[in-house]
Structure 1
């Protein structure tokens, strides 16, 4: 049996940068073991598998090179960009079933994909000295921001860490120690950010590290961008409607642009959206 995978760059900026993902359509009959084999063969941080669903438009599962994860933002974007490009979907609103829940996706006329994410759950926080050694930065450096280190999930639990301006590219991860820490605390990884200057079109520059699930560093992370947007809405930009633009991947030489919006009322956050563009890289045939 030969499986065809579409290779897609998600959250690209002017058709460059972005984060590559694999997309396998008509994956209904594939076992989890076969999906993992395919994901390993492709070698990207995540590969998405699209199947039929009796209640919503699609069921989508996500595999890293080591395991299945509940959700992946950039792979979701890759899925719907592929379905649109292949003429299988028109612009409009669709629903995907994931292990993180039923999540809506909108395809715009120009091909921009906007994904609903799960509403945020705030799962606790850490002290500066808990993370400083894992990031290769001094505790006093992290404390300069005055911002907390929170664990937030809008699909996957990430540790959100602010660093002072100019320190993002100085982070040096201890991968073994970070993996052990994340496993111990039941989180996926660290999403570090530095706020941009007020006159910039960007809100923040980001780096994401998830060696526990086989991702030393990722150039665009949709789920963590939703978590960061909720973090910023809680601690920095405290208002009922926020629209952010994040840059990620600069340190990897493939800068990506991710949009994120958070809508709140007196009861809290009621909608989280993450979006961007994708471009087709090619296809890969995999023999099982």
Structure 2
């Protein structure tokens, strides 16, 4: 958007527009690698400023954008249209229904078929018309069967994940395709195909059906297994609850906390989940808190 050749120049042009390119800020732009590592001591030395000035400069940098052109264009985001809708019914039950807006609308016009068939003269024409009619009916039956299969799979997923709908992510159960396939008497590949790129609207938001299929994390003392997604949610909660001036949880400490709550998990798994959620390490989080001051 501003024809910058790299990130430094992009930030520089925005600061220049604001008349904020003093020598200290230029020095900061020349050492963005130190800012990425949160090495505040080194930044203070190269910029020649104190802690308060450095915090103000970093705040100014954060107020900039690496993609300034986005403010002047771009395609509008299209909302996801759910294929299945779940609503809470009486007695704590869940009503599961297909979203009619997403279903293909296909009907066979039998009166038109009768008119065309009546006009067929040769045997070849009669066979051709009959074959077209048969294929059209076959397609209608296939679409109907597809809709029934989607509803059947979604209903079983809702039954299996009732705790999530009622209480949230922390109650998400471990679930795999085979469990659903066995419960509804279908092949595992059919369930996989039906749940791909399908979305379900629930009182807790719109989710891809694949979201509800999550690996199991063993429980301590032989208890019921936990879903990987609920464990990731718990890790995120622990880290989001951290405050400046208090202990920042290391991966080892998170392992201890989770084991105390009944989750048997390895440190490398915690690190993998944390990195997948793009959460910095405890060392980097301490530096971020110091910058935020």
TM-score (norm 1): 0.26
**Which has the higher relative contact order, 1 or 2, with Cα contacts under 8 A spaced 6 or more apart?**
1
Larger Rg belongs to: 2
TM-score norm. by structure 2 comes to 0.26
Which of the pair is proportionally richer in helix? Answer: 2
- The structure that is strand-richer by fraction is 1
